[in-house]
Amino acid sequence: MNCVKRALLAAALNVAIPILAPAQTLPPGVPAVMPFDIPYGAPISLAQAQKVAAAAAATASRWNWKEAIAIVDPAGQLVYFERMDDTQFASVGIAQDKARAAALYRRPTKIFQDLVDHGDPNFLSLRGVVAADGGLPLILNGKLIGAIGASGGTSPQDGVVAAAGAAALK
């Protein structure tokens, strides 16, 4: 009986192995390299987060935009938050959501906005996706240390504010 079981198992494995073997070529449209595969670094420090937020707030002030600015670590946990006077209250949570999405997905939230704009909303079922400009990963020495989220203006305005903050790390 043991010999029969072994023979059946061996036959099943011989059939399954070719099915599980990797394909020699990828289907059209499938990238060979993982996109947005940014390695994780040490989480952003409070001093770095304050510097990023200050640069973002300075840009918003220059244009008289009222913004909420959130800085998170690579896990999407809030490190620093700033809300400018008279910023709409909804922007408090939106800025944090944008920062969290940029950190967790390791990509700018504008990418999700662009997908919606081009008629591809399939990713919207993914947890925590925000399809609006204003969320950017914060990368230092090639590693993801956190993300910034800005909200309060139009999507492009939020993107300009977040970009100013991200640029302060360099």
Claim: this prediction has a pTM higher than 0.75: yes
Please write the tens of the pLDDT for every residue from 15-29.
444 444 555 789 998
Ordered structural domains, the chain, with CATH:
46-167 (3.30.450.150)
pLDDT score for 125 = 87
Partnered with residue 82 across adjacent β-strands are 69
pLDDT score for 81 = 98
Task: Reduce the secondary structure of 79-105 to three states and give it as a string.
Answer: EEEEECCCCCCHHHHHHHHHHHHHHHH
pLDDT score for 15 = 47
Please write the tens of the pLDDT for every residue from 37-96.
999 999 999 999 999 999 999 999 999 999 999 999 999 999 999 999 999 999 999 999
Percent of the chain surpassing pLDDT 90: 77
